[in-house]
Amino acid sequence: MSKKPTSMEKTDKLLVEKNQDTGYLGFNQPEKHNAISLEMWRGISQAMDNFESDSRVKVIVVSGEGGRAFSSGADISQFEAKRSLASEIEAYNSVMTLAYRKLTDIPKPTIARIGGYCMGGGLAVALCCDLRLASEDARFGIPAAKLGLGYSYESLRPLVNCVGPIRAKEILFSARQFSAQEAYDMGLINSIRNKTDLAQSVDECAQAIAENAPLSVKAFKQIVAEIGKDPNDRDLNLCQHLNDKCYASEDYKEGRKAFMEKRNPNFSGS
């Protein structure tokens, strides 16, 4: 984590920090390239609930500790004991799917800060985030075909929405690793940064987002999510409500006033 936190909850394998208006979630199993254990999947959901309920948190950064990996994916060493029988697979997948859903559906913007390996379930976590900034040494891939694993519709949809079906099939069929430049070229990540500059770049991005009107950012995130759904599943009434709420807000008045007075706005989220 790049900033000194104002509050922190530390577990064996997951770090949850808050600094001013930014929440940080860090995978903390560097000896396993931050492979995500069942306990960590549960912790992701709990952390998102924590961030969502804290009005001070405006934006969330997800990263991996140790400098060598964002995450190498699900912790395969647990599969024999916790993901071999059909009932165990169902229980494990439900916990993992809930974590994906919490990351995706949280109304606050999320940024994946990706350094080193970002593989399998780790890449799925990054795809649940709204923005993905990576270092030049980042490596991406989904090696499921090398392990005989399956991916559900819900797990694969973010990948297909991000890079399209042709690129998604290339990633899945080949099971190979892709460089940061290849990931950028296919639209998998937003930008590439020098390894030494990545943390600062992400913090600057988070700060810029946090300074904007919260209701506008929330509306944009939810409306874009609706656009990405199948046409029959889109809630157009919700989209209109979110848009109307922005125009009826005190922040809209403050934004106009600040613009006329040539100063930075002081948004309240109301």
Q: pLDDT value at position 6?
A: 46
Which of 28, 61, 212 is closest to 131 using CA atoms? 61
Q: Which amino acid is located at 235 in the chain?
A: D
The 10s digit of each residue's pLDDT in 98-124 is 999 999 999 999 999 999 999 999 999
The 10s digit of each residue's pLDDT in 139-174 is 999 999 998 988 888 889 999 999 999 999 999 999
d(CA 81, CA 88) in angstroms, rounded, equals: 9
Q: How many residues does the chain have?
A: 270
CATH of domain 14-210: 3.90.226.10
The pTM score is: 0.92
Q: Are strands 178-179 and 139-141 parallel, antiparallel or unpaired?
A: antiparallel
Q: What is the residue extent of each domain of the chain? A: 14-210, 213-261
d(CA 122, CA 72) in angstroms, rounded, equals: 6
